[in-house]
């Protein structure tokens, strides 16, 4: 059976011209700040050593080109003079020069690739550490401050380090080549005299000035034609990453899509995402065609340009054939060195787009770090560790919860009510609470009222709101409705966040039996994507088995039994109560059967509701106005 979607998903609006212009900015200072840290890092000695070796090999290649230039002059003079003895000797000499060139070129490529990987390894480690540190990865996803961090870590970092080295080595090679050959070209080209208005103008080293003028004109035209490619390449990477993300998401959710018969809708969505790729690619094609036209014409005309300019002196007898060929070779070297910008522009465009994406990613990480470390972000929920080692309670003081709003806080929020700051929408009125060891709390209320937000705040990953949470030096474990199962062996998934070998096989087998998953014991060493292999109920029971391994002092269950039948749900709760008698258990649940395992209740009520379901009045402060939607009452 097939279905047809009622509406066609079309690509979003085209990127505004201003956004494309912003993405095309050079941002040189920020790019330099991205390059420099590695060369000051703990790996700088090895990196600088490899860089020095690569530079030396580049200089060696330039020296070989100088020898070849001189060889050209002597070789073609020998041909012109029909000197067969010199001809044979020069061929032998060429063989040695060519062999040295090959050895140097291979060595340069090898050690440059080695340096690229060292630099990429260091930058990847640094970005990953900062992305995962202070829950920056979580905060970035909440605020949508950047897209596809996986693509930036995998592709943009590779392109940035590879491009930076290849472009810088190319620039160095061009500078050294220019220095080496400009003197040769100046001497061999000699002066040229031009008649202007009855007087004669003599230009010394005229071929040098022609080479400079030719390269400057070509560079200006190339930049004018090709600059939009930076922004288009930026967008192309973004659209490609979005398309890959949708494909991966479809693969991970293949079963529910199949059950919904959602193939047509998914296909329409994928086609819409690919249409963005195609449209942006069409623009890339147009600008690349113009750039290729400029580059090809520039390169082809450069072949005959020096011969045309030097021909008058050759035909007048002032130049030998060897001298003409030496001028042609030297002009090519000088013009090629001056044309580094033209020749490298396509590579430079892709590299700059990757650099801009990394700069944006780094800025998003910095914002997330600042929110966590200095509370300068859109919220001021402060989570601190208790200084009283005898106090093992979790204490909540004046905690008001909010939801993030895109756009973030204003530039100056000083003195503004924290629950009314720009960048967040107030949700729950401030309340205070103390959760002691061994207590059993049931948290309930309407869907969307902020129950899970409370758990996130207690975990220290939710900054939106206001208040203070004091936590003891005790182990806290949070079991969400959909537990995270890393790709790896079943032992890895069961032991997470510990390593799979952190617990004995006997311990792993024992908790699986206790969680009614004994049939999985034989699969402990099987590598798989277990989130796709286990049913939702099995995944939730695996999370309970994980709790038995971790033995937390505070166990938070966020609808952690929603996929279980009532009998299995009761068995899991009894297992927790009996196996972890001293642990505090705090549960979010809607089923009345869960209430039997708790003796305290935290109930969310809409603002304006005068009582809870049992008829009792509110037990905690109700915020008058303030834009909040819910308040919290406590029942003992």
Q: Can you give the pLDDT at residue 18?
A: 52
Q: Are 300 and 40 in contact (CB under 8 A)?
A: no
* DSSP one-letter code for 15: P
* Closest C-alpha to 69, from 388, 238, 322, 253: 322
Residue with tokens 């303030």, as numbered in its chain: 626
For residue 248, how far is the Cα from the chain centroid? 17
* Closest C-alpha to 335, from 172, 203, 217, 188: 217
- Residue by residue, DSSP assigns 154-188 as IIIHHHHHHHHHHHHHHHHHHHHHHHHHHHHHHHH
Domains and CATH numbers, the chain: 17-370 (1.20.1560.10), 378-436+461-474+603-631 (no CATH)
Q: Are 492 and 499 in contact (CB under 8 A)?
A: yes
Task: Please give the structure tokens belonging to residue 627.
Answer: 């834009």
Residue 485: helix, strand or coil by DSSP? Answer: coil
Task: Please give the structure tokens belonging to residue 236.
Answer: 């192309």
Q: Can you give the pLDDT at residue 197?
A: 66
- Residue by residue, DSSP assigns 573-596 as HHHHHHHSTTSEEEEE---GGGGG
Q: For residue range 164-185, what is the model confidence (pLDDT) as tens digits?
A: 998 888 888 888 878 877 877 7
Q: Are 390 and 568 in contact (CB under 8 A)?
A: no
* Closest C-alpha to 630, from 493, 465, 458: 465
Q: Which residues of the chain have pLDDT under 50?
A: 1-14, 373-378, 407-422, 610-626
Q: What residues contact residue 590 under an 8 Å CB cut-off, 6+ apart?
A: 444, 559
For residue 55, how far is the Cα from the chain centroid? 30
Angstrom CA distances, 43 to 35, 36, 48, 153, 573, stand at 14, 12, 9, 20, 51
Q: What residues contact residue 329 under an 8 Å CB cut-off, 6+ apart?
A: 68, 69, 72
Burial of 564 (0-12, 13-18, 19+ CB in 10 A): buried
- Bridge-based pairing state of the strands 199-203 and 488-489: unpaired
Separation of alpha carbons 300 and 262, rounded Å: 54
Q: What residues contact residue 412 under an 8 Å CB cut-off, 6+ apart?
A: none
Rg value, the chain, Cα: 35
pTM value is 0.64
Q: For residue range 117-173, what is the model confidence (pLDDT) as tens digits?
A: 999 999 999 998 888 877 778 777 776 667 778 878 888 888 899 889 988 888 888
Q: Can you give the pLDDT at residue 414?
A: 40
Question: Can you say whether residue 551 is alpha, beta or left, with left for phi > 0 and alpha for psi between -120 and 50 degrees?
Answer: left
Q: Can you give the pLDDT at residue 600?
A: 92
Separation of alpha carbons 70 and 180, rounded Å: 12
Q: Can you give the pLDDT at residue 2?
A: 40
Angstrom CA distances, 409 to 66, 376, 380, 563, stand at 61, 9, 12, 38
| 364: phi then psi, degrees, rounded to nearest 5 | -65, -40
Q: Are 618 and 416 in contact (CB under 8 A)?
A: no
Looking from the CA of 467 toward its CB, the CA atoms found within 13 Å total 25
* Closest C-alpha to 23, from 219, 220, 229, 221: 229
Residues of the chain by 3-state class (helix, strand, coil), percent to 5: 60, 15, 25
Separation of alpha carbons 614 and 287, rounded Å: 70
| 197: phi then psi, degrees, rounded to nearest 5 | 60, 40
Q: What residues contact residue 501 under an 8 Å CB cut-off, 6+ apart?
A: 491
Q: Is the dihedral of CA 91, 95, 96, 100 positive or negative?
A: positive
């Amino acid at each position: 059976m097939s279905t047809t979607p009622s509406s066609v998903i079309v690509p979003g609006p085209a990127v505004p011209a201003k956004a494309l212009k912003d993405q095309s900015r050079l941002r040189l200072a920020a790019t330099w700040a991205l390059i420099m840290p590695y060369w000051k890092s703990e790996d700088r000695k090895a990196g600088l050593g490899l860089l020095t070796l690569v530079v030396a090999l580049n200089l060696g290649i330039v020296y070989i080109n100088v020898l070849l230039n001189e060889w050209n002059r002597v070789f073609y003079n020998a041909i012109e003079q029909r000197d067969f003895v010199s001809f044979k000797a020069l061929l032998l000499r060429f063989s040695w020069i060519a062999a040295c060139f090959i050895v140097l070129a291979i060595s340069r490529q090898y050690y440059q690739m080695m340096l690229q990987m060292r630099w990429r390894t260091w930058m990847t480690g640094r970005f990953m550490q900062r992305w995962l540190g202070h829950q920056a990865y979580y905060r970035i996803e909440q605020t949508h401050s950047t897209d596809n961090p996986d693509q930036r870590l995998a592709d943009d970092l590779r392109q940035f380090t590879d491009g930076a080295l290849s472009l810088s080595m190319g620039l160095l090679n061009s500078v050294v080549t220019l220095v080496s050959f400009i003197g040769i070209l100046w001497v061999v080209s000699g002066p040229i005299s031009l008649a202007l208005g009855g007087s004669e103008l003599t230009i010394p080293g005229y071929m040098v000035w022609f080479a400079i003028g030719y390269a400057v004109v070509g560079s200006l035209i190339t930049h004018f034609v090709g600059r939009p490619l930076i922004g288009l390449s930026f967008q192309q990477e973004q659209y490609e990453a979005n398309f890959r993300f949708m494909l991966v998401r479809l693969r991970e959710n293949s079963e529910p899509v199949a059950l919904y018969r959602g193939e047509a809708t998914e296909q329409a969505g994928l086609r819409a995402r690919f249409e963005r790729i195609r449209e942006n690619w069409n623009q890339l094609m147009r600008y690349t065609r113009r750039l290729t036209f400029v580059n090809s014409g520039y390169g082809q005309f450069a072949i005959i340009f020096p011969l045309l300019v030097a021909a008058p002196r050759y035909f007048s007898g002032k130049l030998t054939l060897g001298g003409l060929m030496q001028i042609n070779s030297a002009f090519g070297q000088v013009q090629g060195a001056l044309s580094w910008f033209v020749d490298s522009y396509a590579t430079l465009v892709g590299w700059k787009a990757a650099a801009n994406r990394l700069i944006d990613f780094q800025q998003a990480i910095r914002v997330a770090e600042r929110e966590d470390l200095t509370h300068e972000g859109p919220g001021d929920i402060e989570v601190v560790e208790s200084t009283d080692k005898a106090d093992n309670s979790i204490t909540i003081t004046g905690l008001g919860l909010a939801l993030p709003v895109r756009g973030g806080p204003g530039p100056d929020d000083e003195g503004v009510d924290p629950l009314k700051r720009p960048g967040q929408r107030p949700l729950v009125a401030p309340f205070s609470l103390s959760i002691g060891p061994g207590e059993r709390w049931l948290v309930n209320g309407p869907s969307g009222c902020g129950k899970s937000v409370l758990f996130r705040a207690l975990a220290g990953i939710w900054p939106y709101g206001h208040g203070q949470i004091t936590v003891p030096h005790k182990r806290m474990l949070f079991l969400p409705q959909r537990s995270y199962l890393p790709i790896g062996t079943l032992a890895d998934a069961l032991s997470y966040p510990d390593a799979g070998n952190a617990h004995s096989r006997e311990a792993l087998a024992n908790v699986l039996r206790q969680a009614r998953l004994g049939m999985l014991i034989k699969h402990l060493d099987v590598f798989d994507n277990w989130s796709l292999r286990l049913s939702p109920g099995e995944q939730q029971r695996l999370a309970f088995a994980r709790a038995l391994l971790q033995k937390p002092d505070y166990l938070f269950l966020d609808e952690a039994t929603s996929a279980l039948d009532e009998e299995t749900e009761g068995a899991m709760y009894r297992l927790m109560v009996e196996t972890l008698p001293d642990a505090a258990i705090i549960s979010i649940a809607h089923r009345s059967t869960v209430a039997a395992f708790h003796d305290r209740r935290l109930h969310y009520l809409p603002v304006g509701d005068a009582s809870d379901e049992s008829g009792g009045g509110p037990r905690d402060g109700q915020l008058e106005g303030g834009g909040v939607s819910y308040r919290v009452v406590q029942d003992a």
